[in-house]
């Protein structure tokens, strides 16, 4: 990805917006700063900084908060500035296979309201209308949203704002950003659950704010949310990190994507159930009866059931294989184990770590950590991505 460097003779208004974004970024990240320190950090001329700060104060984005200490050379103590987090409002929407969560947050990411409800069934357009209605109900009256982060359980194309495929919702090629923008009158940015969880774990969970992080998102399906330079790696069609649909040699199980033998058919919650069922059908004795889910397999494994323990070990080893693919492909500093299966990380991790260590390149140096945010990761990611996306332009320029 190239950085959009301002061209010579670039439109004056564009430069103005860029400079404004630069100044706002310094104020946001710096805590309390003076005009002089903004000028130093941005290398903008002091009069330019002063004019922009006046504008940001008038718009309510920045406020003056008393005076700082005088420089050793003497002179007047500088007036200090800080970001007014309450000036911006973002909405995070996590649409899960069963439950949907909406959260309203300010410019610092602090939530003022959150609501959870059953994911509406029916056609995608109708579902999104209901979700938008419920989101509007938690917004303060007359509120204007700076951005919306929408997180989905499936393949997404961030660039077009489209849900490519979400088998659990029955969605295919749904223009989520377009539909929600029409409902909520704000820019909507669409990500998958793994990407959202990766951002949330990095900023608020076990990630530790590293530049390069990957999150193995394992539950009903399997994907990886990959961060490069602290930002989500999307790829050209938006499907970077969809390792769940890499074919495992010898795989025979049909996948929801239409292919056969995808990695997620052997490294997911449904795989846990299928491996246990296969052993029982083969004549093995187990406490598991005819109808059981992944959570039942985990409980039986804890109770010492050999069939369940075998299924856990097999899925754990396959997740270890998945982890090694992600680490070899992206070489992250931290690999987070997230998604629904992370709830039984204590059972899976020993098998996972053993296999991933075996197949990971020696010098990778990646540390595997288990999600700290649990079921909060996706909605926090939705909020944080809304904030990040509303800042994208200056971020890119700032890092150039």
Residue closer to Zn ion (CB basis): 123 or 254: 254
| Alpha helices, DSSP H, located in 185-293 | 193-204, 269-281
The residue among 183 and 253 lying less far from Zn ion, judged by its C-beta, is 253
Q: Which of 205, 152, 183 is nearest to 337 (CA)?
A: 205
Distance CA 223, CA 195 (A): 9
Minimum distance from CB of 342 to Zn ion (Å)? 21
Burial classification of residue 283, based on how many CB atoms lie within 10 Å of its CB (0-12 exposed, 13-18 middle, 19 or more buried): exposed
**Residue 184 sits in the site that holds Zn ion (CB under 5 A):** no
Which residues are within 8 A (CB) of 105 and not within 5 positions of it... i.e. 6 or more apart? 89, 90, 91, 92, 111, 112, 383, 386, 387
- In whole angstroms, the minimum distance from the beta carbon of 257 to Zn ion comes to 3
Task: Please enumerate in sequence order all residues whose Cβ is within 8 A of that of 297, keeping only pairs 6 or more positions apart, or say none.
Answer: 272, 273, 276, 288, 308, 311, 312
- What residues contact 2, with CB distance under 8 A and at least 6 apart? none
- Which of 70, 108, 259, 392 binds Zn ion (CB under 5 A)? It is 259
Min CB(259)–Zn ion separation in Å: 5
Nearest to Zn ion of 37, 268 (CB atom) = 268
Q: How far is the CB of 254 from Zn ion (least distance, A)?
A: 9
Q: Is 257 in the site for Zn ion (CB under 5 A)?
A: yes
Question: Would you count residue 121 as binding Zn ion (CB under 5 A)?
Answer: no
> What is the smallest separation between the CB atom of 340 and Zn ion, expressed in angstroms?
18
Q: Are 238 and 157 in contact (CB under 8 A)?
A: yes
Q: What angle do CA 368, 357, 352 make, to 5 degrees?
A: 65
CB of 200 to Zn ion, least distance (A): 25
Which is it for the CA torsion 160, 227, 151, 243, positive or negative? positive
Q: Considering beta carbons, is residue 245 or 351 the nearer one to Zn ion? A: 245
Stretch that binds Zn ion, among 23-31, 257-265, 363-371, 389-397 (CB under 5 A): 257-265
Q: What single DSSP character describes residue 247?
A: B
Q: Which is nearer to Zn ion, 83 or 275 (CB)?
A: 275
CB closer to Zn ion, 67 vs 259: 259
Q: Which of residues 260-319 bind Zn ion (CB under 5 A)?
A: 262
Residue nearer to Zn ion on the CB measure, 107 or 270: 270
- Total interface residues for Zn ion by CB under 5 A: 5
Using alpha carbons, list the distances in angstroms from residue 246 to 138, 360, 394.
Answer: 40, 17, 35
Site mask for Zn ion (CB under 5 A), range 237-256, x = bound = --------x---------x-
C-beta closer to Zn ion: residue 103 or 216: 216
Q: Which residues contact 42 (CB under 8 A, 6 or more apart)?
A: 19, 22, 23, 26, 49
Shortest distance in whole angstroms from residue 267 CB to Zn ion: 12
Residues 233, 227 contacting (CB under 8 angstroms): yes
Distance of closest approach, residue 223 Cβ to Zn ion, in angstroms: 10
* Shortest distance (Å) from residue 250 CB to Zn ion: 15
User: Of the candidates 174, 172, 233, 167, which has an alpha carbon nearest to the alpha carbon of residue 198?
Assistant: 233
The nearer residue to Zn ion, 146 or 267, going by C-beta atoms, is 267
Measured on CA atoms in the order 230, 236, 238, 244, is the torsion positive or negative? negative
Residues in the site for Zn ion, rule: CB under 5 A? 245, 255, 257, 259, 262
């Amino acid at each position: 990805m190239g950085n959009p460097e301002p061209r010579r003779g670039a439109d004056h208004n564009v430069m103005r917006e860029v400079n404004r974004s630069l100044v706002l970024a310094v104020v946001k990240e710096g805590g309390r700063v003076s005009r002089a320190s903004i000028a130093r950090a941005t290398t903008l001329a002091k009069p330019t900084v002063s004019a922009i700060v006046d504008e940001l104060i008038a718009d309510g984005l920045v406020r003056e908060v008393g005076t700082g200490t005088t420089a050793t050379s003497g002179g007047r103590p500088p007036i200090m500035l800080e970001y007014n987090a309450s000036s911006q409002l973002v909405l995070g929407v996590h649409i899960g296979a069963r439950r949907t969560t909406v959260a309203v947050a300010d410019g610092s990411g602090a939530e003022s309201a959150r609501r959870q409800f059953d994911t509406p069934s029916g056609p995608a357009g109708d579902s999104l209308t209901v979700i938008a209605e419920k989101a509007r109900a938690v917004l303060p009256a007359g509120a204007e949203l700076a951005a919306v982060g929408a997180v989905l359980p499936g393949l997404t194309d961030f660039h077009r704002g489209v849900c490519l495929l979400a088998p659990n919702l029955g969605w295919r090629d749904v223009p989520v950003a377009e539909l929600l923008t029409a409902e909520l009158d704000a820019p909507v940015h669409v990500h998958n659950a793994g990407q959202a969880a990766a951002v949330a774990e990095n900023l608020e969970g076990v990630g530790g704010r590293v530049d390069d992080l990957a999150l193995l998102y394992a539950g009903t399906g399997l994907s990886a949310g990959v961060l490069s330079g602290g930002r989500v790696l999307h790829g050209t069609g938006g499907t970077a990190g969809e390792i769940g649909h890499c074919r495992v040699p010898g795989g025979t199980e049909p996948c929801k994507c239409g292919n056969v033998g995808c990695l997620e058919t052997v490294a997911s919650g449904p795989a846990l159930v299928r491996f246990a069922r296969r052993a029982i059908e083969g004549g093995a004795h187990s406490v598991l009866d005819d109808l059981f889910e992944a959570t039942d397999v985990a409980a039986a494994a804890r109770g010492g059931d050999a069939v369940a323990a075998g299924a856990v070990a097999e899925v754990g080893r396959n997740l270890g294989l998945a982890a090694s693919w992600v680490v070899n492909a992206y070489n992250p500093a931290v690999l987070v184990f997230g998604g629904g299966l992370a709830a039984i990380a204590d059972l899976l991790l020993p098998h996972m770590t053993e296999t991933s260590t075996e197949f990971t390149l020696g010098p990778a140096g990646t540390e595997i950590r288990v999600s700290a945010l649990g079921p909060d990761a996706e909605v926090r990611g939705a909020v944080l991505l809304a904030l990040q996306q509303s800042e994208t332009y200056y971020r890119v320029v700032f890092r150039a």
